[in-house]
Amino acid sequence: MSFIVQSEGLVVPAGRRALIGQSVRLLSGAAVALLAGRQALAAGSNDATAQDVRILNTALGAELEAVAAYQLAADSGLLQKPVRELALTFQGHHKEHADLLAKTVSKLGGRAVSPKEKYSFPTETLKAQADVLRFAATLEKGAVSAYLGAVPLFGNRDLAKAAASILGDEAMHWAVLRNAVGEAPVPGAFVS
């Protein structure tokens, strides 16, 4: 087996690196297929499609909440510049997720949920940068759990693949935020 030594000193099997790259391209392809409006996405029973739309709208609501939470974080004045930039990057990811989910709901004949006028965030407990990061990490962990629960419920497997791709992004956000506050980025071998 051949290995690649990365600049960080990590040794990664060349085959695994290629496998990961192929997996990312495959999952990205599923998301692109959703955006492209493939007719196969609308195929299936009306009941299954209606359930998929409900799941997508629930995910969309959570993504919109995350966008608002990261805006609160960015505007709080509690974040150092690089941390604020990271928060805005993560917010951008959530905006992309929300856009994809809203377009998919519409393509499936549903009506996408709108952002709430006001969200109930625990602003009284956010006194320092670490508080904001822990709050964001809690939201990201919730998103990971929600997508993990939703993936097997989709009637349309292409939607399940796209949701799994978003799940992966949420898990990376969670790990980075945990690491930023000095916690183990990956606290266990399994996520629930």
Domain ranges within the chain, ordered by starting residue: 3-180
Mean pLDDT of the chain: 84
User: Which amino acid belongs to residue 134?
Assistant: R
In terms of Cα–Cα distance, which of 36, 27, 22 is closest to 100? 36
Q: How far is it, in rounded angstroms, from Cα 91 to Cα 39?
A: 30
Q: Can you read off the two tokens belonging to residue 50?
A: 């209606």
In terms of Cα–Cα distance, which of 57, 54, 129 is closest to 86? 129
Task: Report, as an integer, the average pLDDT of 129-150.
Answer: 97
| Choice among 3-7, 71-75, 88-92, 126-130 with the minimum mean pLDDT | 3-7
In the predicted model, is pLDDT for residue 2 greater than 70? no
Reported CATH class of domain 3-180: mainly alpha
For the stretch 81-113, pLDDT in tens is: 999 999 999 999 999 999 999 999 999 999 999
pLDDT of residue 45: 56
H helices of 37-124, where?
A: 46-75, 81-107
In this predicted model, which residue has the larger pLDDT, 35 or 53?
53
Residues 6 or more apart in contact with residue 85 via CB below 8 angstroms? none
